[in-house]
Structures are given as C-alpha cells and as structure tokens.
Amino acid sequence: MKNIAVIGAGTMGNGIAHTFAQNGFKVQLIDISEGTLKNGLAIISKNLDRMVSKETISEEIKLQTLSNIITSSNLSESVKQADLVVEAATEDIDLKLNIFKQLDEACPSETILASNTSSISITKIGAATNRADKVIGMHFMNPVPIMKLVEVIRGSKTSDVITKSIMDLSKKLNKIPVEVNDAPGFVANRILMPMINESIDTLENGVAGVYEIDTVMKLGMAHPMGPLQLADLIGLDVCLSILNVMHDGFKNPKYAPCPLLINMVKSGKLGIKSGEGFYDYSKTKKAEIVSSQFLNRII
C-alpha cells in the first residue's frame, strides 16, 4: 500500500494524514470544507515545526512530509487510486454509513476501507458496502503522531488477510497494533468512557471538585492526565456519543451518560474545542494552543 486517502481533516483526520505522510506514504486528505482542510494542514505544519524544534525529526523530513499530502474536497475523484481509505469523520452512524456507501462505489474493488470510529460497529459499517470482507477498524489515539496504539477492529466478515495487512501496515507507521473483535466501544472506550462518566458523576454528587478528582487520578493512579481534563481534550460531545452507543448496544444502565455530561453538551460546553468544559480555555486564542501544551509534555 502506497496511496492513502483520509476522509476528514479534523483533529483525528489531520493527525492520521500526518502520520502516514511522515512515514513515506502519499496521502489525499479529503474534507468537504476548504476551511477545515486549510486548518488541518496548518496544524500538521505546526506539529512538524514542534518536532523539528525538539530535534525529533529533521527539517528535511518535515518538508518531505508536507509534500506527501495533497488536499481535496472531491471524495469520488480523490479515492480512485487509493489502496487504503481511512475514514475519520464525525462519530455519527448515518454520516459514516453514507460515506462508506460512496467509497464502495468510487474505490477500486481491491481498496481496503477502514474507519477510525471509536465505538460504532464495524460489522454495521461493512454491511453498507459490497466488500464487507475489506472493511476494518483502525482506531488511532489522540494525538495520532505521538500515541503508539492502533486498535484494529475486525467486523464479523473482515477477512484474515485484510486484518493481517492492516496489522502489518500499522507497524510500518511505528505504531503498536492490537487486534480486537467488534463490540460497542471496542476495548479502549469500553474501559475509558465508564471511568470518565464515573468521574463526572463524582463531580456532580459533590464528592470533590474538578482539580481534586484529576489530581487523585494523576498522582494516585499515575495517569498522565486526569479524566476530566482528558474528557475536555476528547470533546464532551464525543464522550456522550460513545456512551450512548455503548448504552444502546449493551442495554446496560452502567453505560448511561451522567446527567451533568448531557447538560454540558446541550449548553455547548464541549471542552477544548468550544473554549470551555470542565476547565476554562477562553484565555487562549485557539483551542490548538492547549493541545500543543499537551503535546509539548509528551513529545
């Protein structure tokens, strides 16, 4: 696989494009919004500059990485030569099914279709296509250029050959792939989201404040970020969406989203991207500044 198409130029999409491009792949970064594409490229460039300043990569690698990325707002035309398409659109089932139907029609028959979904059934996504054996999950972690894990999710019809191919490809990206079976939330979010939800419930019940809850988890459990700070980084709307998928899928009340989380999303407090969540980010000019501070600590 040499030619990669990435659908969506938001936080995850531009990170995935960055990672493939930095490892020598030709990448088509696709989004319906020209503004999102422009912003996505700017974030990739800033992250590369940070790596150069820390001597993680050379200036030559930075320039080569940027030259490997082409942006486009035309999905059908941009995926015609793709060996692999990685969808990284909003965590919305109807949107993803529509994208995969379009990809199935536009891509060559041998193209592998992957989703970066963090909770939605790969089996259901595959059923929207005529190539369910070639549909797989590639769940990257945020920030993609730094985090090592790729959760590789097999749908019920995903073939052994395709699974092995994606596992091998992930290693070429200097990632550590872990194969899991299809279930709501997979492994990462099935464990993480109940912890975040319980942290929010702990706050709502007045057991402790935001700072105190996060400090206990950082100092007591050696987590690099507290669960409420992490929720802000992920996006509270995304957390809510994942919990809803798990609650609907398992029909188990333990996955029911905390009322405080629901109300915060309704009021537009989504975390870093909206400027306010459990923490106030309004003093920063752009949400990316806060993400950059996090990146600076772990690069």
Catalytic residues: 118, 139, 151, 189
**Omega of the bond prior to 145 within 30 degrees of 0, cis?**
no
Nearest to 30 by CA among 17, 20, 49, 11: 17
> How far is it, in rounded angstroms, from Cα 210 to Cα 258?
15
10 assigned ligand-binding residue: yes
The answer to whether the beta carbons of residues 29 and 9 sit under 8 Å apart is yes
Element (H, E) at 30: strand 26-30
114 assigned ligand-binding residue: no
13 assigned ligand-binding residue: yes
Q: What is the DSSP letter of 85?
A: E
126 assigned ligand-binding residue: no
> How far is it, in rounded angstroms, from Cα 183 to Cα 39?
33
> How far is it, in rounded angstroms, from Cα 106 to Cα 80?
6
Q: Helix or strand or coil: residue 50?
A: helix
Q: What is the DSSP letter of 241?
A: H
182 assigned ligand-binding residue: no
71 assigned ligand-binding residue: no
110 assigned ligand-binding residue: no
185 assigned ligand-binding residue: no
91 assigned ligand-binding residue: yes
8 assigned ligand-binding residue: yes
* Residue 214: other Cβ atoms inside 10 A: 23
Enumerate the known binding-site residues for NAD(+): 8-13, 31, 91, 96, 118, 142, 273
Enumerate the known binding-site residues: 8-13, 31, 91, 96, 118, 142, 273
